[in-house]
Amino acid sequence: MVKIISANVNGIRSATQKGFIDYLGRVDADIVCVQELKAQEPDMKPEMKNPHGMHGVWHCAEKRGYSGVAIYSKRAPDNVQIGMGIEEFDREGRFVRADFGGLSVISLYLPSGTSAPERQELKYRFLDAFYPMLNEMKAEGRDIVVCGDWNIAHQNIDLKNWKGNQKNSGFLPEERAWIGKVIAELGWTDMWRTLYPEIPGYTWWSNRGQAYAKDVGWRIDYQMVTPGLAAKAVASHVYKEEKFSDHAPLVVEYDYSI
């Protein structure tokens, strides 16, 4: 059995203070994908780089206190890819890949378009660039899981207030259509929605008002999986017993060995 976690920590230092590293010590995950480190390598204490003796690889943003992704794993990766090979996105630390035997795991932080129109345009450029990458990765014939904050809710079930968000970044028709194509045309599996077609599975809540308390959430964190590995998924859950950030960890267990 392989347990894989995806978690946007909204700052690894803040999440550590809120118990995230302690959680990793208890949950016994094989692989943990983290997004929004918001730290440079010198800022990260040893337990943030190698929690509980796990191997760590990361891709930090050039801008301090911003973005950044990491992968922690029980066993050392056979191969690591830092970045997408596209400078505009790699400056922001949005992609890291680790290979373990026949399994490849990606920690992804897809841009948000909420802060300004130019950020939405960058988000569209990212989607245009990442789509062929997804196609190429699937064509490798390996078992692959892309974990991360995709910053898009695909269907109405994926956010509480879908009627009021149809003109907002994260639920725009173009974004939703893109996710739909990743699934229907490229053949990737949205693991949570496949396992639980009727359970919302929210993973992010606004800090405004009582969104978390009232569970007015969005499902924007995914494990997108190639078909062979998807067939081996056993169970999934969103961990909400503790609150490490404005996101909650997405945990999926696969009947698989690495």
- Classify the C-alpha dihedral 193-186-179-12 as positive or negative: positive
d(CA 78, CA 98): 7
Residues found in the chain = 258
* 156 known member of a binding site: no
* 246 known member of a binding site: yes
* 135 known member of a binding site: no
Strand, helix or coil for residue 41:
helix
Sheet holding 2-8, edge to edge: 55-59, 69-73, 31-35, 2-8, 250-254, 233-238
- Classify the C-alpha dihedral 170-241-2-108 as positive or negative: positive
* 247 known member of a binding site: yes
Which amino acid is present at 237? H
Please give the DSSP secondary-structure letter assigned to residue 111: P
* 149 known member of a binding site: yes
Q: Is 109 a catalytic residue?
A: yes
Nearest to 173 by CA among 185, 165, 182: 165
Q: Which of 23, 30, 222, 247 is catalytic?
A: 247
d(CA 231, CA 189): 9
Which amino acid is present at 246? D
Asked if 110 and 148 count as a contact pair (C-beta separation under 8 A), the reply is yes
Tokens found for residue 213:
């308390």
Return the residue matching tokens 């932080």: 109
Return the residue matching tokens 């400056």: 91
Q: Which of 30, 143, 149, 221 is catalytic?
A: 149
Q: Which of 23, 72, 109, 212 is catalytic?
A: 109
Phi and psi torsions of 144, nearest 5° = -135, 140
* 28 known member of a binding site: no
Asked if 100 and 258 count as a contact pair (C-beta separation under 8 A), the reply is yes
Instruction: Kindly list the catalytic residues.
Output: 109, 149, 247
Positions at the binding site for Mg(2+): 8, 36, 149, 151, 246-247
